[in-house]
Structure 1
């Protein structure tokens, strides 16, 4: 009886081993070919291929025993980034999938180009290109490529905290413009008995200006006020864009803008008690949208210190109906400097 049980155990173990081998042979094998190099050393290419194989194995991909070096290839084969020769090499090693590509140096950049293809398919199912600024960054590039191959889609723009490259930490290049700040002072002359019937408001604002050859953008965040008695027009934000005509020291411009203003209007009305007059004050406050259209000119534009003159029509989108519905709008004249 003991011998019979021992024989049965041996038979079951042999069947388990055979089944495991059959399962292993059924799992698709992946071959990583040597990367073709342009201006990059063969040592770097070998390290990249081995790193890629290790990352794929860590993601559960079944690989051909080890990544190949050029010396490991069959006679007549070489590193390639062409689909047909890559598939031929994969068939020679019994692989169902092949990964191939190139490493190319462009001055300080190393461009990593990778393709992954099932040998039964006509075209790669994965194709990506990632740029590294140093050889030390190639391990992060490899991890990102391995993620993409395992997911089955290109993801050069997808990154984790472990796959951000030095190239991506650099600030993107931008065309240079001139910007600076300046103080504007002037007056708003109400139209149609607006702003509670005052004759004018004194205005003062701090503006930031961004200027390029033919355009300027002026913004006033918070620091803009116009006032007279109890009437106050407070600028929460103004943005004004203008087209500049001319490139000399004196250049006119035409523009328009939008803003958000908080306006308090006070209106005084004369009443009579018998024959004695007295003033009654009423007020209303609104926070709403505003719009401006205007013209102006820049003086000393070729210098880093400019003079600005500005004429605008300023309109606040509120009727102030509790004070007679005359609204808040008028002609704004200002001047100032800008650096």
Structure 2
């Protein structure tokens, strides 16, 4: 009997959750208000928003004529009057939306008020770079209201606004050139010479949100070239990272040009960690430690400490 009760409870819970997700909400959209946005653009934006809300399966949108008949000449842009209007319309929620021009941009602010409690249950803002961009913004506002979710959480193909496209391109264009210098400390091989040697490296660095990758060319007791990848642990000005590198390392050894049948060159593998400072600026300072292994006839291994700028 117990084996039947558990599946039955899960089944009933699933039905209950689905019923909540598809519950029809009666919403009143109040006329849009604006600051320095022309009347035609405001009316068109309201029409798009009204149509998109009406197309949502879980929303029963109160008609514009019925809303206007209750409001009369009243202009409503706060929770108190929205609650009063919602009660007269027998709505469960009231949506207030404002368009405010800021330079060339249009700031879209919207609030969803629960009529019964009079409290704001959703308050968001979005940026429209141009008037034409308001089409995509209004579609996203409707999705946000329907799902009771933040504006930024509703990106879909066909409704990406221009501000997000610009920010995405800016992130993709984070390309750094840099130089670093420091010391190489032999750990094994290197003709059993434990003396440190000066190193200098050039970096061609490409940075994504949480990763950086690129090409390093350097003088490391010989010549080294590798590709590397780092995981960036934060997006703040102090950004620790850890990564690895793989490439070619030719190590200068005593008597390497004589016939000793030993090769100083080989595949180079590195394991590293460090920190990037001023990470959110146009330049970055980095401090790095790396353990490098060269798979050559000398089995060279070393630790390299580097400081540099990107």
TM-score (norm 1): 0.54
- 1:89 CA displacement: 2.3
Unaligned runs of 5+ in 2: 1-23, 206-214, 218-225, 227-246, 257-261, 278-284
Paired residues for 1:171-182 under 5 Å: 171=167, 179-180=177-178
Which of 271, 282, 304 does residue 292 from structure 1 map onto?
304
Q: For residues 103-137 of structure 1, give each alpha carbon's deviation from its aligned partner in whole angstroms, at most 9, with x where no partner exists.
A: 11111111111111221023122221111101111
Matched with 2:42 is 45
Matched with 1:120 is 116
Q: Is contact 1:201–1:226 with CA below 8 Å preserved after alignment?
A: no
Paired residues for 1:1-339 under 5 Å: 29-60=26-57, 61-66=59-64, 74-78=71-75, 80-171=76-167, 179-180=177-178, 194-197=189-192, 207-208=202-203, 219-220=216-217, 221=226, 222=247, 224-228=249-253, 229=256, 230=262, 231-232=264-265, 234-236=267-269, 256-266=288-298, 285=299, 290-293=302-305
Q: For residues 140-161 of structure 1, give each alpha carbon's deviation from its aligned partner in whole angstroms, at most 9, with x where no partner exists.
A: 1111111111112223243001
Q: Is contact 1:30–1:95 with CA below 8 Å preserved after alignment?
A: yes
* Distance change >3 Å, CA 160–CA 264, structure 1 → 2: same
* Distance change >3 Å, CA 294–CA 110, structure 1 → 2: closer
1:156 partner SS? helix
* Distance change >3 Å, CA 90–CA 44, structure 1 → 2: farther
Distance in 2 separating the partners of 1:43 and 1:84: 28
Which one has a bigger Cα radius of gyration?
Answer: 1
Stretch moving more, 233-242 or 52-61: 233-242
1:51 partner SS? helix
Q: Is contact 2:80–2:118 with CA below 8 Å preserved after alignment?
A: no
* Distance change >3 Å, CA 224–CA 111, structure 1 → 2: farther
- 1:188 CA displacement: 7.5
Q: Is contact 2:100–2:106 with CA below 8 Å preserved after alignment?
A: yes
* Distance change >3 Å, CA 295–CA 57, structure 1 → 2: closer
Distance in 1 separating the partners of 2:127 and 2:307: 48
- 1:48 CA displacement: 1.8
Q: Is contact 1:235–1:261 with CA below 8 Å preserved after alignment?
A: yes
2:64 partner SS? coil
Q: Is contact 2:179–2:200 with CA below 8 Å preserved after alignment?
A: no
Q: Is contact 2:185–2:304 with CA below 8 Å preserved after alignment?
A: no
Distance in 1 separating the partners of 2:77 and 2:276: 52
Q: For residues 11-57 of structure 1, give each alpha carbon's deviation from its aligned partner in whole angstroms, at most 9, with x where no partner exists.
A: xxxxxxxxxxxxxxxx6532111122112123222222221121111
Unaligned runs of 5+ in 1: 1-26, 211-217, 245-252, 267-284, 299-339
Matched with 2:14 is none
TM-score (norm 2): 0.58
Distance in 2 separating the partners of 1:254 and 1:148: 41
Distance in 2 separating the partners of 1:225 and 1:200: 18
